[in-house]
Amino acid sequence: MNGVHDMGGMDGLGVVDSRDPGPFPKAWEARVFALTLAAGSLGRWTLDESRFRREAQPGERYLSMSYYERWFEALTDLLVVHGVISEVELARGRAEGPSPPLAVTPEQMAAVLSRGGPSQRLVSAPPRFSVGDRVRAANFHPHGHTRLPRYARGHVGMVVRRHGAHVFPDCNAHGEGEQPTALYQIAFEAHTLWGARAQSPGLVHLDLWEPYLEPA
Amino acid sequence: MPHDTHDDEDHGQAPPSDLALRVKALESLLVDKGLIDPSTLDAIIDTYETRVGPRNGARVVARAWSDLGYLERLRTDATAAIAELGFGGRGGEHMIAVENAPGVHNLVVCTLCSCYPWPVLGLPPAWYKSNAYRSRAVIDPRGVLAEFGVSLPRETEIRVWDSTAEIRYLVVPERPAGTEGWDEAALAELVTRDSMVGAGLALSPRGRVG
């Protein structure tokens, strides 16, 4: 989706405050972080869908919300959309009737975190592009989730590395399965992307899936 | 960025914010439903507040500076080389190390959200998640670096890495001059979190470089 989350290259969003207040300046932020990881481990949605729910927050709200506020609103949406909790329960703050105990223990969670969730998959289809190929990022504006930023669309870059096949977020975010697809590291010259404003010499690299690319 | 560091609900002075109450209510509901174990939440928070952080990445960089064989393995398969030191898992499943060198500087960003190599750097600092950094790192890397007090020669090529997939990038900063013969533990002390994102340089033996 062409959302405000896709902010690479935008002006007017301020200067960088390089101070670091630590991961959780407020106690509730730590709880939101942990709730999101623990609820994610129930396996009812994918990481891609959870990213989509964050970026699908209304644009004006997205820009004004703090980081973990975005996480919290997205987590609430995910829990309701997937029927894990009901609107009534959310409003009353109490469970309506029994549900199976599914909570993961601290030990199980530690194993989940140390195992991680690799996105690479073995596929038999050979990748279409080779290192050194010139490719154009598609002029492509899907309504759903995508990881092709607007600032790269329509521009020509070069394949510098092949990552193998990885879970395709555009499908996986919407319950359409993993559909693993070839993933490439593409280098764009800064002047290609930014014209006269480019700071040369410079390159911007993106990791892009095959459906985002066409031969150039 | 809209990140307010004012602890309104943590010091017991002011009433809890609406958001803090909503978070508490959601946690209570999920516990009531048997979906969440509160001690699991405490363990997750403890992991990322005290165990997983940039000192892990500093050990990787110090090893790469000291051991050419390790540097080669880091270049060939960074995920495996990082796992040799015991680091891996969530947010670091597919790692790539990018090396600074004379005339080359690397800077990592996630313009679409906040992807960051958790096992080696911990959770991202507020600035990495900020709208300002996400919007500008790709178009104005020198301006962003200036806000960190870093100024590079005009001819230095800046390579920006936008983390658009599950590949996570770790910058290996240049080893500071005057550290010949230093052991890995001493070298690791010079490796700052910002230098491993590319928003800073490694410290010089006598203080901050740049």
ipTM of this complex? 0.97
Confidence of residue A102 (pLDDT cuts 50, 70, 90): confident
Report pLDDT for B14: 62
pTM of the model: 0.95
Residue B177 located in a structural domain:
yes
Confidence of residue B15 (pLDDT cuts 50, 70, 90): low
H, E, C per residue of A93-155: CCCCCCCCCCCCCHHHHHHHHHHCCCCEECCCCCCCCCCCCEEEECCCCCCCCCCCCHHHCCC
Report pLDDT for B3: 44
> Same structural domain for residues B73 and B175?
yes
Compute the half-sphere exposure of residue A50: CA atoms within 13 Å on the CB side of its CA.
21
Distance from CA of A174 to the nearest CA of B (A): 17
- CA-to-CA distance for A156 and B191, rounded, in angstroms? 36
CB B141 within 8 A of CB B162: no
The owner of tokens 């199976």 is A100
Record: contact B130-A112, CB cut-off 8 A: no
Record: contact A113-B2, CB cut-off 8 A: no
- CA-to-CA distance for B151 and B208, rounded, in angstroms? 13
How deeply is A181 buried, as exposed, middle or buried, from its count of CB atoms within 10 A (0-12, 13-18, 19+)? buried
Looking up residue B187, the CATH number of its domain turns out to be 3.90.330.10
With CA atoms as reference, report the closest residue to B113 among A179, A38, A187, A53.
A53
Q: What number is the average pLDDT over the span A138-166?
A: 98
Q: What number is the average pLDDT over the span A88-109?
A: 88
A138 contacts chain B (CB < 8 A): no
Residue B179 located in a structural domain:
yes
Report pLDDT for B209: 46
Domain boundary among B10, B35, B50: B50
Q: Which two structure tokens, joined as six digits, stand for A144?
A: 């759903």
What tens digit of pLDDT does each residue of A29-43 get?
999 999 999 999 999
Report pLDDT for A99: 76
Record: contact A199-B88, CB cut-off 8 A: no
Give the number of A-B residue pairs with CB atoms closer than 8 Å. Answer: 280
The residue of A205, A208, A209, A213 whose CB has the most chain B CBs within 10 angstroms, and thus the best one to mutate to test that interface, is A205
Confidence of residue B12 (pLDDT cuts 50, 70, 90): very low
Report pLDDT for A141: 97
> Same structural domain for residues B45 and B88?
no
pLDDT over 60 (residue B8): no
B130 is catalytic: no
pLDDT over 70 (residue B85): yes
> Same structural domain for residues B24 and B124?
no
Residue ranges and CATH numbers for the domains of chain A are 27-115 (1.10.472.20), 121-215 (2.30.30.50)
State how many domains chain B has: 2
Confidence of residue B210 (pLDDT cuts 50, 70, 90): very low
Confidence of residue A44 (pLDDT cuts 50, 70, 90): very high
Residue B1 located in a structural domain:
no
- CA-to-CA distance for A188 and A155, rounded, in angstroms? 8
SS3 A199: coil
Residue B206 located in a structural domain:
no
pLDDT over 70 (residue B5): no
Report pLDDT for B121: 98
Supply angle C-alpha B55, B60, B66, rounded to 5: 120
Q: What number is the average pLDDT over the span B157-171?
A: 98
Q: What's the full length of chain B, in residues?
A: 210
Look up the domain containing B44 and give its range. 18-50
What tens digit of pLDDT does each residue of A155-176 get?
999 999 999 999 999 999 999 9
Report pLDDT for B207: 54
Higher pLDDT, B5 or B46: B46
